[in-house]
Structure formats: C-alpha cells, structure tokens
C-alpha cells in the first residue's frame, strides 16, 4: 500500500509565533511538511518560486506586499502552487479580492487545525 503524497506547505505571515505554531502543528500530520516560512509578501513570492510548494498558507496583512498581491503573483509565476488565505478579516471585499487573485480558500485564523488541514488538502485536489 503506498503512502499518500506529502503536501509541501509554505507559511506566509508576519507573526513569527503564528508561523512557528502552524509549522509545529502541521508537522504532526503525516501528509504535510512545511518547507518554508515567509514574514512578508515579497519573501512569500520569492520562496514560492524557489521552493515550489504545493500550497501557500497566506495572511492578508503582510509587510512589503499584501497577501492579495502576493497571491496574484504566486498564481501567475508558480501556477502549480495553490494559495489558502488565513486571516482575521471578516470583510467580504477582502474575501472577494483574495478569491479573484487566485486563492483556493479563505479561512479565519480562529479555525482549528482540522479546518486548516482540510482546506490545504482540498486545495491540492
């Protein structure tokens, strides 16, 4: 029986504690591996080009380049990389802008690990 394909994840958030927490939490899942972390939007775009992750877990509010623009650039430059937005924003216009930029999903940061993992898995299917 073959093991499931490892999903390679990049985490892009300006909050170091959140990035580390997500990295640790996702390490417990047998089918996911965090391959990189970005603290701003420009770094996220660069790391996606370099690391070619399957999914980028992206914050909306990032320094240097916001999550919407970073999502759009990632989807243009690395179309095989899916983007899942993870944000505190409840604004409909943020969700619409993220989806128009090419995000596969839009999640609230208050979600649990199961919800985040399910969105990552759906994004690669």
Instruction: Render the burial of 86-101: b for 16+ CB within 10 Å, e for the rest.
Output: bbebeeeebbebbeeb
CATH of domain 7-124: 3.40.50.2300
Reading the chain (125 residues) residue by residue, the pLDDT tens digits are 445 689 999 999 999 999 999 999 999 999 999 999 999 999 999 999 999 999 999 999 999 999 999 999 999 999 999 999 998 887 889 889 999 999 999 998 887 889 999 999 999 98
> pTM higher than 0.75 for the full model?
yes
Provide the 8-state DSSP code for 3. Answer: P
């Amino acid at each position: 029986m073959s093991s499931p394909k490892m999903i390679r994840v990049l985490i892009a958030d300006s909050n170091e504690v959140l990035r580390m927490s997500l990295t640790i939490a996702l390490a417990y899942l047998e089918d996911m591996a965090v391959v990189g972390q970005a603290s701003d939007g420009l770094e996220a775009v660069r790391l996606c080009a370099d690391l070619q992750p399957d999914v980028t877990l992206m914050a909306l509010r990032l320094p240097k380049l916001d999550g919407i623009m970073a999502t759009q650039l990632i989807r243009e430059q690395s179309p095989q990389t899916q983007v899942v937005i993870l944000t505190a924003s409840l604004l409909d216009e943020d969700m619409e802008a993220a989806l128009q930029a090419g995000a596969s999903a839009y999640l609230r940061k208050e979600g649990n690990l199961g919800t985040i993992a399910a969105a990552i898995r759906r994004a690669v299917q």
